[in-house]
Amino acid sequence: MGLFGKVFGKEEKKSCCEMEIVEVPEGEQASTTCDCGGACDASGEDLVTLTVLGPGCKRCHQLNDNAQEAAKKANGKVSVDYVTDPAAIANAGIMSTPALLVNGKVVSQGKVLSSDEIASLI
């Protein structure tokens, strides 16, 4: 109970942002399967995530289209995310857009890769 609660006898409400940290017991592994609801047969180990980062310009859209095309060639084992949030782009350390991340690792900045180039990175 905080100072206000102690003085006036009211209980504090718990914050909606309180989280509980749950550790995975030894010998068990956290689930790494995709969250598509069973729409794909990816097992998590084979699932690759491509993330296109950019403010929404023509070059960024082209990189996203090329990433989507490369994902189609991979037969559902690749998912593509498109991030336009400036804060998220800055947090990723991107200095030049468009940028491409493969499983969270920056592989290209300031360049529009072709779908064949993206497929070779997967």
Domains and CATH numbers, the chain: 51-122 (3.40.30.10)
What is the Cα 20 distance to its own chain's centre? 22
Query: pLDDT tens, 55-92?
Result: 989 999 999 999 999 988 887 788 999 999 999 999 88
Measure the CA–CA gap between 41 and 62, rounded to whole angstroms.
Answer: 28
Averaged pLDDT for residues 25-43? 48
Residue 109 has a pLDDT of: 93
**Two tokens, residue 49:** 């995530």
In this structure, of 22-36, 47-61, 73-87, the range with the lowest mean pLDDT score is: 22-36
* The pTM of the whole model exceeds 0.85: no
Q: What angle do CA 93, 34, 100 make, to 5 degrees?
A: 25
Which of 40, 77, 84, 76 has the alpha carbon at shortest distance from 60?
Answer: 84
Residue 5: pLDDT band with limits 50, 70, 90: low
